[in-house]
Amino acid sequence: MIRMQERPERFGLEAHGLQPQADVYWNLAPAALVEEAVARGEGHLMASGALACTTGAHTGRSPNDRYIVEEPSSSGNVWWGKVNVPLSPASYAALKVKTLRALERRDLFVRDAWCGADPDHRLSVRVVTEGAWHNLFASNMFLRPPAAALADFHPDWTVLHSPSAVADPATDGTRSGTYIVVHFGERTVLIGGSAYAGEIKKAIFSVMNFLLPSQNVMPMHCSANVGPGGDVALFFGLSGTGKTTLSADPDRPLIGDDEHGWGEAGVFNFEGGCYAKTIHITAASEPEIFRATERFGTVIENVAYDPVTRVADYASDALTENTRSSYPIDHLGNFVPSGMAGHPRNVVFLTADAFGVLPPIARLTPEQAMFHFLSGYTAKVAGTERGVKEPSATFSTCFGAPFMPRHPGVYASMLGERLSRHGSKVWLVNTGWTGGPYGVGRRMSLAHTRTMLTAALHGDLDGVPTRPDPVFGVAVPTAVPGVPPEVLDPRSTWSDAAAYDAKASELAAMFRANFDKYADGVSAAVRACAPQG
C-alpha cells in the first residue's frame, strides 16, 4: 500500500504552521484508512464491514468548551453569550501552538474536502487529524472532490484536530482541558482534548452559519428530502427528534441529513454523508439507515458488539445512548446525487416534548412559525451532550443554538421572508411523549408519526378540519387516516386531565419566559403566538 502520496498537495502543511516529524497521509481512500485504523488499534472491523471505534470520555459534544476568538472579523457580528463564548487572541495563539506541537509528534492524516453542494456557496476545507478513523469520518461527512480538484486544492478553512492536546484552564483561558475554538480571521478551527468526531462537522457547520447570511443564504440545521413531483420538505430539530429517521423515506430521495442552505436557487446540502443515531436501530424499524450502517466504509461510534462474532449490539447503551454511525450519503439507496433541489413546499419543526402535552401534529401560521423557530423547543436526549442522562426540556433557538454565531433574529428574518415568498406550509410535529411526561407516558409511535407526516407532505391534510389547541393555539387536524382520533388530542391520552392542564400550563409559562429575550425584535403578531395557558 502506498503510505503517502508521491507528490504532497501544493498547499502544504507548512502553510498551517505544521512541521511534521513523522509520516503524513494525504487523502487516503476509505479502504486504506480502515486498514490504517485497524493496524493502529484505533478500531475493529465488524462482521458487517463497518469500523467500530470508541471516543473515550467524550461520547457527545462539549458545548461548554466551544469558543469563538474575539477579533475584528467576529467582534461586531457574533451574538456573544452563553453559547458563543469569546476567547482572547492570546489564548487562541497559545492553544494553536499547543495543538500544532501535539500534531507534529504523530503521524498525520490530511483530508481535503468541500462543504456545500452549491458551487457558488462552497467552502474548501482541510481537516488534519491524528487518527485514521477521524479522517475516515471527515471523508464520510464532507463532500469528496474529484482528483482534478485535489491536484490544486487550496483550503478556505482548516480544522486541526488533536485529541491528545489538552488545554490548561489556568493559563489557556478555557473551562477545562477540552477546547473547540473557531477563529474567523485566521479561518482555522482548533479541536483538542476530545475524540468525539462530531465536533469536526459541527465546527464547520458553525462557520457556514456565520458566513452564509452575508451571501443571502439561510443556513439551516435540518434534514431535507424531495418527493416524486419535486416537492422539497425540510425537517428541523435537534439530535434525537427524528430528523435523520423521518427524512430517510424510501419514496422521497434524501437531499441531506443535517445541514443545508436555502438560497435563491433553492435548497442545497452542506455535507456528503450522514451521522445517524443508532441506539435501538433495527432493520425493521429503520431499514435505510440500518443498511447504510452495516456497510464497509461506515464508522460506528461507541456501539457495543460481541468480541467473538463482531456483530454490533445496537440495543446496548453500555458506553452511551448517543451511539452513532457515519456513512457517505451514497450508502443510501435513495438520495439526490447533486445535493441540490428547489424551494421547500413543506417545512417541519420536530420537537421531542418531554412534558407530553404538545399535539403530535399541527399546522402553523407564518407568525407561529417564526415564534416556534425562535423558541426551538425540544428535549435534550440522553447522551447527545456530556452530562445529560435523561431527556430534559430545553429551548434552542433556530433548532440549533449551539451552532448559530449570529443573532437569532438574523436567521428568523431570513426564514420568515422565504416562507412568505414561496408559500411554504409549516408543521409542528411532536416525536416526544404522550399520555404523560417522560417517566410516566410513552414515546410517540413512530408509525403514527410517519403516517401523519406522509399525509401532510402529500397534501392530504389541506382540507381536513382543525381545532385550535386551547393552550398553544396551533391548528390540530381533527382526523388523520390510519391514526386513532384520541392520539391527535394529547389531553385525552392522559389518565388525569387535571394533571395534563397543570403540565401544559407549566410548559406554556416556560415558552413565554424564554421568548422574552426575542420579543423586542419581532412583530406584535409574532409575540401574540405565545401559549396562553
Residue 503 is a catalytic residue: no
Q: Looking at 91, 239, 245, 454, which residue is catalytic?
A: 239
Q: Looking at 221, 252, 260, 425, which residue is catalytic?
A: 221
Residue 258 is a catalytic residue: yes
- Three-state helix/strand/coil letters over 453-481: HHHHHCCCCCCCCEEECCCCCCEEECCEC
Q: Looking at 126, 201, 324, 345, which residue is catalytic?
A: 324
Residue 202 is a catalytic residue: yes
Residue 324 is a catalytic residue: yes
- The answer to whether the CB of 136 falls within 8 A of the CB of 153 is no
Residue 61 is a catalytic residue: yes
Residue 277 is a catalytic residue: no
Distances (CA, A) of 208 to 71, 142, 172, 261, 270: 18, 13, 26, 9, 9
Q: Looking at 121, 201, 202, 260, which residue is catalytic?
A: 202
Q: Which cell goes with 243?
A: 430528523
Interatomic CA distance for residues 143 and 114, integer angstroms: 5
**Cβ burial 75-98 (10 Å sphere, 16+ → b, else e):** eeebbeeebbbbbeeebbebbbeb
DSSP classification of residue 143: B
- The answer to whether the CB of 199 falls within 8 A of the CB of 63 is no
Cα–Cα nearest to 323, from 298, 348, 345: 298
Q: Looking at 62, 139, 241, 244, which residue is catalytic?
A: 244
Residue 201 is a catalytic residue: no
Largest CA distance in the chain: 73
What's CA 379's distance to the chain center, in Å?
Answer: 15
Residue 422 is a catalytic residue: no
Q: Looking at 243, 252, 372, 406, which residue is catalytic?
A: 243
Q: Which residues contact 524 (CB under 8 A, 6 or more apart)?
A: none
> 324-328 and 299-301 as β-strands: parallel, antiparallel, unpaired?
antiparallel
How crowded is residue 263: how many other Cβ atoms within 10 Å of its Cβ?
20
Q: Looking at 16, 58, 61, 277, which residue is catalytic?
A: 61
Residues designated catalytic: 61, 202, 221, 239, 243-244, 258, 324
